[in-house]
């Protein structure tokens, strides 16, 4: 039986953090055995919020190294840069004719980004971000897309565009389903709902044990638990959220110790830091291998782009035929 196909991707911002792993990468690694997977380095998407391109290539390589170190297998899943597959932009141009400006303006993710980044004037490319994303998915005929809940509206736009194209020109594209990640997004160590390098509240997949400890010492906890002996509420403590992910076997003990006051916050943080570092150890080891063998990383990228190109060209050939433009 043919495996269903999925497309997943990230904007290349350099080294990844544990929030990326929990929110996306872990799921991708699991899915690569269940689906035919394509993994996109979304370098054009960076331009929607930052026109500076000097770091994009190096950031793409750093992110690819983290993907490989965490367990993505290039034999199962081609990994490639969006900018190197010209069919993405060709299909995006066609898709841009199939959706209205008012529909794109209703996209809640756009509204959130405009607010969070204090954007005064939205550029055309930012407004059309979901159109290019639809092309990214449908150029590979993606039948499912692994996303967090905040990205579900983008998948819905992709479904609408696929439907509109198929009705207008004939059946080419599937209507992809969102595959929701099972673990909620990890909060940042400062308590911010989003872990982000730009907010300096992240633990990187490449952080050594001392760095992890230093970062965890800064992690915010229950504000009412000031000293050891004070009872705390683990349900509102982000360190407890980290325990649930990286130290599940000790969660009942941590919960009881926090509520009774017998477990102090510093001890709790260091126990958690130790478990996070234990988890990161094999990733860092593999990362060192790829850092010392960059030619292998570049070969993986080149081979992934060749594979992706073949699929993308086939789809565009079909699109042009259906549109009587081939």
pLDDT in tens, 284-322: 999 999 999 999 999 999 999 999 999 999 999 999 999
Confidence category of residue 231, pLDDT binned at 50, 70, 90: confident
Question: Quick check: 183 pLDDT over 70?
Answer: no
Confidence category of residue 49, pLDDT binned at 50, 70, 90: confident
CB 186 within 8 A of CB 18: yes
Question: Quick check: 79 pLDDT over 90?
Answer: yes
CB-count burial class (<10 Å; 0-12, 13-18, 19+) for 182: exposed
Question: Quick check: 184 pLDDT over 70?
Answer: no
Distance CA 230, CA 106 (A): 47
Distance CA 229, CA 31 (A): 44
Q: Tokens 């291998």 sit at which residue?
A: 289
Distance CA 215, CA 301 (A): 32
What is the pLDDT at residue 317?
A: 98
Mean predicted confidence (pLDDT) in 161-180:
96
Candidates 95, 99, 88, 83; CA nearest to 136 is 88
Q: Are strands 79-81 and 5-10 parallel, antiparallel or unpaired?
A: unpaired
Candidates 46, 38, 119; CA nearest to 74 is 38
Confidence category of residue 111, pLDDT binned at 50, 70, 90: confident
What is the pLDDT at residue 114?
A: 79
Question: Quick check: 112 pLDDT over 90?
Answer: no
Distance CA 48, CA 125 (A): 6
Name the 3-class secondary structure at 22: helix
Q: Tokens 């367990």 sit at which residue?
A: 71
Higher pLDDT, 76 or 228: 76
What is the pLDDT at residue 44?
A: 97
Tokens linked to 272: 């958690």
What is the pLDDT at residue 222?
A: 85
CB 137 within 8 A of CB 172: no
What is the pLDDT at residue 119?
A: 83
Confidence category of residue 133, pLDDT binned at 50, 70, 90: very high
What is the pLDDT at residue 36?
A: 96
Exposure string of 40-55, with b = 16+ CB inside 10 Å and e = fewer, is: bbbbbbbbbeeeeeee
Q: Which domains does the chain have, with CATH numbers?
A: 5-186+294-322 (3.40.50.620), 209-288 (1.10.240.10)
Arithmetic mean of pLDDT over the chain: 93
Question: Quick check: 182 pLDDT over 80?
Answer: no
What is the pLDDT at residue 248?
A: 94
Distance CA 147, CA 245 (A): 19
Element (H, E) at 103: helix 101-105
Question: Quick check: 254 pLDDT over 70?
Answer: yes
Question: Quick check: 140 pLDDT over 90?
Answer: yes
Q: Tokens 């954007």 sit at which residue?
A: 119
Q: Tokens 């209507």 sit at which residue?
A: 175
CB 162 within 8 A of CB 176: yes
CB 272 within 8 A of CB 239: yes
Q: Which of 45-54, 213-222, 301-310 is the most confident on average?
A: 301-310
């Amino acid at each position: 039986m043919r495996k269903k196909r999925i497309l997943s991707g990230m904007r290349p911002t350099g080294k990844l953090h544990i929030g990326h792993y929990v929110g996306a990468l872990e799921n991708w690694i699991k899915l690569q055995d269940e689906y035919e997977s394509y993994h996109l380095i979304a370098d054009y998407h960076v331009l929607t919020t930052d026109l500076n391109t000097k770091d994009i290539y190096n950031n793409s390589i750093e992110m690819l190294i983290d993907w490989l170190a965490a367990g993505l297998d290039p034999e199962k899943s081609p990994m490639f840069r969006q900018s190197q597959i010209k069919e993405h932009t060709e299909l995006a141009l066609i898709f841009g004719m199939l959706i209205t400006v008012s529909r794109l303006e209703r996209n809640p993710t756009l509204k959130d980004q405009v607010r969070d980044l204090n954007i005064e004037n939205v550029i055309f490319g930012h407004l059309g971000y979901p159109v290019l994303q639809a092309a990214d998915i449908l150029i590979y005929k993606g039948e499912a897309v692994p996303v967090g809940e905040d990205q579900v509206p983008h998948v819905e736009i992709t479904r609408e565009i696929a439907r509109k194209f198929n009705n207008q020109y004939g059946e080419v594209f599937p209507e992809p389903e969102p595959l929701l990640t099972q673990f909620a997004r990890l909060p940042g160590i400062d308590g911010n709902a989003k872990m982000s390098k730009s907010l300096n509240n992240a633990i990187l997949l490449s952080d050594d044990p001392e760095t992890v400890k230093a970062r965890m010492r800064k992690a915010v906890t229950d504000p009412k638990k000031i000293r050891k002996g004070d009872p705390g509420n683990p349900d509102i403590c982000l360190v407890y959220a980290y325990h649930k992910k990286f130290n599940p076997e000790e969660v009942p003990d941590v919960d009881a110790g926090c509520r009774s006051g017998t477990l102090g916050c510093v001890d709790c943080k260091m126990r958690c830091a130790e478990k996070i570092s234990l988890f990161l150890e094999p990733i860092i080891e593999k990362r060192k291998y790829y850092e010392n063998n960059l030619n292998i990383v570049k070969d993986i990228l080149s081979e992934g782009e060749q594979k992706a190109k073949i699929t993308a060209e086939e789809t565009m050939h079909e699109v042009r035929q259906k549109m009587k433009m081939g």
